[in-house]
A and B are shown apart, each in its own frame.
Chain A
Amino acid sequence: MDIDVRALLSRRINIAIIAGAVLLLLLPLILRHEYWIYVFTIGYYYAILALTWNIMAGYLRRVSFAHMALAAIGAYTSTLTIINFKIPLVLGMFLGMVVGALSSLFIGYLSLRLRGVYFTLSTLAFAEIFRIVVTVEYQYTRGSLGLEAPKLLGNILTYVPYYYVALAFLGAVTILTHLMLNSGLGLRVKAVGDSEEAAEALGINSARIKVFTFLYSSAIASLAGAFYGHLIGLVSPEICGFEQLALVIAMSVVGGLGTIPGPIIGALLIELLAEYLRGFGIYRYLILAALIIVTIRFFRQGIFGWVKKRVLLGVGM
């Protein structure tokens, strides 16, 4: 690719992103249907989780299975502190983020020095232990029945305000992540992801970079989890169920690993598809699994990679 093509591509990507953002801003006016507005709001929650999971898997190249458990930690911390100590809701959500961040420091310190798959297995162990404890400790968490969580915006009958809060949250996370990944720090993250030894040989403290990346990804996931609890009004162990994790992984992979727009596109697409296929019950996961296999086999770069090449550049059309 020469420089002109690169400039053209980045200009077209920017135009597409701005067009997409405007479309999402105007969507409640177009949809005019509470149900689909709610579906999109939930979609933004998944987009935030897919985006932050992808910082680990797509840039640092470490697969974390604790992502949904960290979201659940945020949700439980927020709701439990609000119920028991009568603190303001926003403070509860902030505490959720802090406790999630501290948990990730603990997991990260213990397991990020392990290589490859051992980190993943450690996060899986942590996630399962957390899920079991939360389910079993009935007197605090009401087990699998779940806790009734106070609603973020009180008793309003429309989801439109929630839609814009979620969209603003997603927008803020996207911009922050874009800035982080394009800073010197982000360059270090990508370098450690590609070769830890080479990064070390060039003066980068790889242990510190790994812990930071996990902390960044986890803190946002915890805040998103807290938000989700106060959005749907229920905090239960289902938040950190394996299907939820599988969904987030599918969204990142199908959308495009190692890109920022990819997981957002993947999250919205799969969330809509999952709603649309609700009639199939549990079998809809079969269709989602097939989608992942097709993506891995034919569109290595995910939907975003394909769109970039075929639509925005017009290659092979």
Chain B
Amino acid sequence: MGQEEGFIGCWDVSREKVLEIQDLSKHFGGVKAVDNFSMEVFNGEIVGLIGPNGAGKTTLINVVTGFLTPDKGRVVFLGEDVTGLPPHKINSRGMARTFQLIKPFANLRVLDAIAVGALSKSRGKKEAYEKATEIVRLLGLKDPYRVCSTLTIVEEKLVELGRALATRPKLLLIDELAAGLRPHEIVDMRKIITAIRKEYDMSMVVVEHVMPLVMGISDRVVVMSSGAKIAEGTPEEIAKDPKVIAAYLGERRRV
């Protein structure tokens, strides 16, 4: 009995909440982009957030990371209410993101761009570049001295991921990494995300409307449609859920 309690205790510690989204709403005029949405992310897990185009996934990420202020609801990160804080303050508390429509530092070299991310968590420029070099190696970027405007879409996405990683986040929100990539490139991305998970101690939210990437790597999947959560569960449960199939997979079957 005592042993069982101990086991439950351990399990509870690992299930510490990293992110708590409570009744969040964001309206644009009459459009309810995010509508009373709640979800949680626990320590160390990868949560897939899926939904058809226009479901409000990117708006949700923008509200959570401070790029938009919510009309209602709260965002609690590591036990602290961060609702309405500017993006740079939210990042410095340990939440990083990538952008669906990539926002490259076009005139910087790959290594510089990643060092920008490392700057705020380093004592000096030298330390930032050491960290950046490490990340360049982890992501397998070939030429760190190339200017970002000359990169391919895959390399640009890797740099975007790398500079977010360089801020040493506790939680990384990856917004549609697979968008614009070909199937074999998506497989590569999946490998990289798995490698990142092995290397760093953090939680991730992987936002996609392409199913394969999310289904393969997520511990848990949340399905969003028209701004609201319509299902939540393991990837296997989600794949079988009739509501999800109606809102989402059904749409794909028709194509």
Contact = CB atoms under 8 A, between A and B. Distances in A.
A202 B96 contact: yes
A203 B92 contact: yes
Nearest to A197: B103
A198 interface: yes
A198 B104 CA distance: 7
B103 A195 contact: yes
Contacts of B164: 201-202
A246 to B, nearest CB: 25
Q: Identify which of A1, A184, A200, A204 gathers the most chain B CB atoms within 10 Å of its CB.
A: A184
B99 A198 contact: yes
A184 B128 contact: yes
Interface residues of B, number: 32
A6 interface: yes
A200 B88 contact: yes
Interface in A254-279: 258
A195 B145 CA distance: 19
Interface in A187-207: 187-188, 190-191, 193-195, 197-206
Interface string B38-78: 00000000000000000000000000010100000000000
A188 B112 CA distance: 10
Interface string B90-128: 011000110100011111100011011101110011001
Interface string B128-159: 10000000000000000100000000000000
Query: What class of interface size applies to chain A in its complex with B?
Result: 20 to 34
Given A187-B125, A197-B103, A202 B91 contact: yes
A199 B117 CA distance: 8
Contacts of B87: 197, 200-201
B165 to A, nearest CB: 10
Contacts of B128: 184, 187
B105 A198 contact: yes
A195 B104 contact: yes
B145 A3 contact: yes
Contacts of B92: 203
B96 A201 contact: yes
B88 A206 contact: yes
A158 interface: no
Contacts of A188: 116, 119
A126 B104 CA distance: 33
A305 to B, nearest CB: 13
A14 interface: no
A282 B223 CA distance: 68
A19 B99 CA distance: 46
B136 to A, nearest CB: 14
Nearest to A199: B116
Given A3-B145, A188-B119, A202-B117, A195 B91 contact: no
Contacts of A198: 99, 103-105, 163
Contacts of A191: 105, 108, 113, 116
B167 interface: yes
A194 B149 CA distance: 11
A172 to B, nearest CB: 22
Interface centre among A187, A203, A204 (most CB of B within 10 A): A203
Nearest to B67: A197
B107 A190 contact: yes
A202 B86 contact: no
B120 to A, nearest CB: 4
B88 A183 contact: no
Contacts of A202: 88, 91, 96, 116-117, 119-120, 163-164, 166-167
B123 to A, nearest CB: 10
A199 to B, nearest CB: 7
A217 to B, nearest CB: 18
A183 B106 CA distance: 19
A203 B120 contact: yes
Interface in A173-231: 183-184, 187-188, 190-191, 193-195, 197-206
Contacts of B105: 190-191, 194-195, 198
Contacts of A203: 88, 91-92, 117, 119-121, 167
A1 B67 CA distance: 37
17 contacts: A6-B145, A187-B115, A191-B105, A191-B113, A191-B116, A194-B106, A195-B105, A198-B103, A202-B88, A202-B91, A202-B96, A202-B116, A203-B88, A204-B119, A204-B120, A205-B86, A206-B88
Top 4 nearest A-B pairs (CB, nearest first) are: A203-B91, A203-B120, A200-B87, A198-B103
Interface of B: 65, 67, 86-88, 91-92, 96-97, 99, 103-108, 112-113, 115-117, 119-121, 124-125, 128, 145, 163-164, 166-167
Interface of A: 1, 3, 6, 183-184, 187-188, 190-191, 193-195, 197-206, 258
Given A194-B105, A202-B116, A258-B107, 14 more contacts: A183-B125, A184-B119, A187-B125, A188-B116, A188-B119, A190-B107, A190-B108, A191-B116, A197-B67, A198-B104, A201-B96, A202-B120, A203-B88, A203-B119
